């Protein structure tokens, strides 16, 4: 096992093979899922002026006991009414600008109106500025709202717009060629003979990428023929990443490594101290990063989660690109682990996390029923029921 590369070192070496892609400018309407290429510096203050956080009446704090004479109305999207004098109030609505002189808002539920006279019916809060959103209270012009590398999710896009942006500088999407190999593979939905199997891995891996900022090209069901495989890999040289599935081991029909070498690829590493997914290979074919995943479904899924997805995130500009580990109490005792990091297909719920009894890397049914990969580090000691253990959500 000493010749196997530790997982974290392999991840670092894979990222070192890659480069961040150039930035491009996109409308905020098209930037969902991208990563900021530069800090989001606010171009305006929010709010731009003091405004009401409630429907009610704008008052001077000095006049908080009332009664008041109503002199106008302040609506959202309109200039405020005239400045308040002593003993005066203005009807105000949520999001409306406070008139000059006002510094607090009394909720409409706490007053009664008698013509133009407004009286308290409940004790107001003694705090000055009650129910007021103050100028710059969210952020001020020039503040860094989001750092470069932040994922533009719906909330982040909303922040970008309110900070004054209509277009954003974001990292380009990596172009990823997904190449599945094997004589045994047939198209999904096709009737199979006993020696055949539907090609599920390329669908699975491409689906992993579909929720990410990537452009995917599927080169499916490439037979175990050196010339055909080399031609397929050659056709993908224009991609930023070529990921192969299957054929990466050392059997007579495992041609991915020899094919890459024939095309002049530089192989950086091969075989990781992890289970499943030991036969992972990475390198470069010219300017293209190559990543060869094993063919067993669980192995391909785990390896893609740990290597392919971080690689795509990094090239797309993500500040944080490695998988995020969480912790949960184990629902069953776990034995001590051996010399390879292990990722157990598991199910997590409110009671804790439990690994499936079968960890056969060929069983897609187990993988499909899982929502977590329970992580057991190299030589992890035994864990009792209730002990907190790390996992990756899937």
Instruction: Let me know whether 340 and 264 are in one domain.
Output: no
Q: How far apart are the first and last CA of the chain?
A: 28
Span 77-103, average pLDDT: 94
Distances (CA, A) of 379 to 85, 166, 245, 340: 75, 51, 29, 8
- The tokens describing 147, both together, are 């750092």
pLDDT for 250 beyond 70: no
Confidence of residue 288 (pLDDT cuts 50, 70, 90): very high
User: Residue 117's beta-bridge partner residues?
Assistant: 69, 114
Instruction: Let me know whether 123 and 198 are in one domain.
Output: no
pTM of the model: 0.90
- Structure confidence by residue, pLDDT tens digits, 25-35: 999 999 999 99
Helix axes 309-316, 7-16, angle to 10 degrees: 40
The domain that contains 86 carries what CATH number? 2.170.190.11
Please report where in the chains the tokens 């990443």 appear, as a residue: 241
Bridge-based pairing of strands 325-329 and 388-393 is antiparallel
Instruction: Let me know whether 217 and 276 are in one domain.
Output: yes
pLDDT for 253 beyond 80: no
Confidence of residue 251 (pLDDT cuts 50, 70, 90): low
Query: Total structural domains in the chain?
Result: 4
Three-state helix/strand/coil letters over the chain: CCCCECHHHHHHHHHHCCCCCCEEEEECCCCCCCEECCCEECCCCECCCCEECCCEEEECHHHCCCCEEEEEEECCCCCCCCCCCCCEEEEECCCCECCCCCCEEEEHHHEEEECCEEEECCCCCCCCCCCEECCCCCECCCCEEECCCCECCHHHHHHHHHCCCCEEEEECCCEEEEEEECCCEECCCCCCCCCCEECCHHHHHHHHHHCCCCEEEEEEEECCCHHHHHHHHHHCCCCCEEEEECCCCCCCCCCHHHHHHHCCCEEEEECECEECCCCCEEEEECCEEEEEECCCHHHHHHHHHHHHHHHHHHHHCCCCCCCCEEEEEECCCECCCCCCEEEEEEEEECCEEEECCCCCCCCHHHHHHCCEEEEECCCCCCECCCCEEEEEEC
User: Residue 352's beta-bridge partner residues?
Assistant: 349
- The tokens describing 17, both together, are 């093979």
User: Residue 353's beta-bridge partner residues?
Assistant: 330, 348
Domain that holds residue 251: 7-21+172-316
Which pLDDT belongs to residue 80?
85
The domain that contains 334 carries what CATH number? 2.40.340.10
383: in domain:
yes
pLDDT for 1 beyond 50: no
Instruction: Let me know whether 341 and 363 are in one domain.
Output: yes
Instruction: Let me know whether 164 and 209 are in one domain.
Output: no
- Structure confidence by residue, pLDDT tens digits, 105-137: 999 999 999 999 999 998 776 789 999 999 999
102: in domain:
yes
Q: What's the mean pLDDT when you consider all of the chain? A: 95
Instruction: Let me know whether 36 and 161 are in one domain.
Output: yes
Confidence of residue 252 (pLDDT cuts 50, 70, 90): low
Which pLDDT belongs to residue 205?
96
Which pLDDT belongs to residue 82?
93
Instruction: Let me know whether 348 and 268 are in one domain.
Output: no
- Structure confidence by residue, pLDDT tens digits, 341-381: 999 999 999 999 999 999 999 999 999 999 999 999 999 99
Cis peptide bond upstream of 276, omega within 30: yes
pLDDT for 197 beyond 70: yes
């Amino acid at each position: 096992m000493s010749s196997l590369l530790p997982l974290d070192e392999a991840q670092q070496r894979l990222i070192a093979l890659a480069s961040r892609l150039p930035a491009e400018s996109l409308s905020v309407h098209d930037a969902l899922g991208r990563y900021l290429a530069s800090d989001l510096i606010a171009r305006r203050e929010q709010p731009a002026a003091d405004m009401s956080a409630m429907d009610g009446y704008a008052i001077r704090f000095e006049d908080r006991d009332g009664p008041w004479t109503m002199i106008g109305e302040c609506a959202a999207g309109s200039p405020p009414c005239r400045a308040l004098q002593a003993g005066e109030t203005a009807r105000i609505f949520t999001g409306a600008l406070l008139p000059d002189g006002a510094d607090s808002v009394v909720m409409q539920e706490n007053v009664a109106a008698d013509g133009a006279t407004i009286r308290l019916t409940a004790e107001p809060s003694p705090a000055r500025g009650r129910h007021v959103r103050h100028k710059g209270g969210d952020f001020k012009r020039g503040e860094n709202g989001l750092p470069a590398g932040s994922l533009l999710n719906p909330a982040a896009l909303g922040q970008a717009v309110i900070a004054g942006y209509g277009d954003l500088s974001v990292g380009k999407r990596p172009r990823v060629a997904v190449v599945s190999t094997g004589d045994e593979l047939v198209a999904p939905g096709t009737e199979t003979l006993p020696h055949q199997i539907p090609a599920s891995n390329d669908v699975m891996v491409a689906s992993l990428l579909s929720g990410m900022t990537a452009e995917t090209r599927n080169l499916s069901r490439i037979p175990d023929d050196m010339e055909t495989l080399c031609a397929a890999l050659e056709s993908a040289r224009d991609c930023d990443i070529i990921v192969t599935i299957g054929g990466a081991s050392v059997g007579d029909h495992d041609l991915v490594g020899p094919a890459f070498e024939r095309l002049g690829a530089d192989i950086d590493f091969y075989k990781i101290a992890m289970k499943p997914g030991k036969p992972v290979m990475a390198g470069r074919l010219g300017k293209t990063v190559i990543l060869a995943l094993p063919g067993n479904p669980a192995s391909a899924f785990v390896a893609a989660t740990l290597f392919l997805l971080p690689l795509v995130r990094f090239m797309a500009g993500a500040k944080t690109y490695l998988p995020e580990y969480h912790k949960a109490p184990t629902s069953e005792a776990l034995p001590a682990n051996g010399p390879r990091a292990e990722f157990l297909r598991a199910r997590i719920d409110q009671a804790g996390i439990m690994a499936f009894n079968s960890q056969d890397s060929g069983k897609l049914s187990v993988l499909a029923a899982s929502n977590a990969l329970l992580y057991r580090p190299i030589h992890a000691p035994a864990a009792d029921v209730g002990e907190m253990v790390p996992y990756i959500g899937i």
